[in-house]
Amino acid sequence: MLDRAPPEPPPHPPRLTGLRGALNALRNFGLVGLGTPGAGEYDSFTASDGQVVPVYVLGKGPPLVLVHGVGCSHRDWMPVARRLARRHCVLAWDARGHGSCRPVRGSITLARLACDLAEMLDHFGLQRSALVGHSMGALTLMQYLHLYGTQRVAAVALVDQSPRIVTDDSWRLGLFGGCSATMLSGLIAGARQDLAETLLNEVGTFGGAWLKRQLGVEASLGRMLRRRLGRIDVRPLLDLAESMAHADFRASLSRLDAPLLVVLGARSPHYAGLPLDAWYRDTVKHAQISVYPRAGHSPHVSEPLRFARELERFLDDHA
C-alpha cells in the first residue's frame, strides 16, 4: 500500500497527445509518407498467422530488443538505437498496423503482439535478450512476461507505462489518474464510428486556427485526409486499444524475477503527478527507477543520450 493518498481524477482528462504526436501518429499509421528505409536496414520474419513483420537490425553484440508505442514505429527509437548499436545487436520492429507493417492480418491484441515477440526471438535465434518497451510496447513486454516467463530474458526496461491503464476507486495510477474503463470504452466507440473526425479534431485543436481551417470538411487537405482515413480499416487498432484497456499486469509484475529498469517522464501527459514510481518500488523490490524531470511520455525521444547511457549502465550491472 502507498502512504500517499491518490490524487483526485481530473474533471476533464487531458488529450492523449499534442500536435507533434498526432502528426507522427498519422505518419506511422500510414496516412502521410514514411519514406523508404535504406538498403540493408530491414530484415523481417513471418508470424504464425502469415503476418510479415519488418524489423530494423543494426550493430553486433548482446541482443537488445526495442518495442515502440501506439502511433510510433522503429524510427522513434533510432537516436537511441544508433548509440546502443556500438555494443549491442539492436532489433526494433514495426508492430502490426504501424510503420511498414501493413496490411494487417486479423485482430491486434496484446496477446498477439506478445506472440509476435516470441516468434521474433525464435526467428533470430535469440536465447537471452534485453527487452525495452515504451507505452504500448511496455504493455507488450508485460504480456510477454506473463505468458512466456523470463527464461529468455536478460533484463527488462519499461518506459512511462502503468501496469493497468484504466482506473477505479481502488486504482488511481492509470491514465490521468482518473480514466475509467467506461470512459475509455466510450472513446474507442467514438473512434469506431468516425475515426477521421476524432483524429483531425485532435490535430486541429493543437495546431491553432489556421491549421484547423485547413483540416475542415471543405478544405482540400481536410478532404484528402478524410478520404485516406476512410480507406483504412481501423478495427484492428481499436481492438488493440480494447485489449490494453482490459490488461492488468500488477500481480504478474509483483512476481518478476528479471532485472527491471523503469523510466518515467515527470511531465508525462498520461501519468504526471501520480506516484507510479512509488508503486514500482513497493511492488518490484529490485527495480531501478529513473524519473526524467523535464521529459514527457517519451523520455527516450526527448533525451536519447541520457536514456542510452543509463540503459547501458543498467545492462552492464544487471544483464
Residue 32 has pLDDT above 50, yes or no: no
| 49-101 residue pLDDT tens | 999 999 999 999 999 999 999 989 999 999 999 999 999 999 999 999 998 99
User: In angstroms, rounded to a whole number, what is the distance separating the alpha carbons of residues 65 and 124?
Assistant: 11
The kind and range of the H/E element at 91 are: strand 89-93
The four Cα atoms 105, 108, 114, 119 give a dihedral, to 10 degrees, of 0
Give the β-pairing of 260-265 and 288-292.
Answer: parallel
Copy the grid coordinates of residue 41: 536496414
Residue 103 preceded by cis peptide, ω within 30: yes
Matching residue, cell 507522427: 24
pLDDT at 7 over 50: no
Strand partners, 201: none
pLDDT at res. 222: 77
**What are the grid coordinates assigned to 137, written together?**
510496447
Average of per-residue pLDDT across 291-299: 96
Containing H/E element for 130? strand 129-134
Please report the domains of the chain, with CATH numbers, ordered by start residue.
34-165+236-318 (3.40.50.1820)
Angstrom distance (rounded) from CA 236 to CA 281: 35
Q: Which of 165, 201, 210, 203 is nearest to 184 (CA)?
A: 165
pTM for the whole thing?
Answer: 0.83
> pLDDT over 70 for what percent of the chain?
82
Rounded distance, CA 158 to CA 139, Å? 8
Whether 250 contacts 283, CB under 8 Å: yes
Q: What average pLDDT does the segment 152-171 reach?
A: 97
Collapsed DSSP state (helix, strand, coil) of residue 158: strand
pLDDT at position 199, please?
A: 65
Which residues are CB-contacts of 169 (< 8 A; sequence separation ≥ 6)? Answer: none
The DSSP H or E segment spanning 43 is strand 42-46
- Interatomic CA distance for residues 154 and 99, integer angstroms: 27
Q: Identify the pLDDT of residue 40.
A: 44
Distance CA 132, CA 158 (A): 6
Whole-angstrom distance, CA of residue 283 vs CA of residue 207? 40
Does residue 316 come out as left (phi exceeding 0), alpha (psi in the -120 to 50 range) or beta? alpha
Q: Tell me the one-letter amino acid at 232.
A: I
Whether the pLDDT of residue 288 is over 70: the answer is: yes
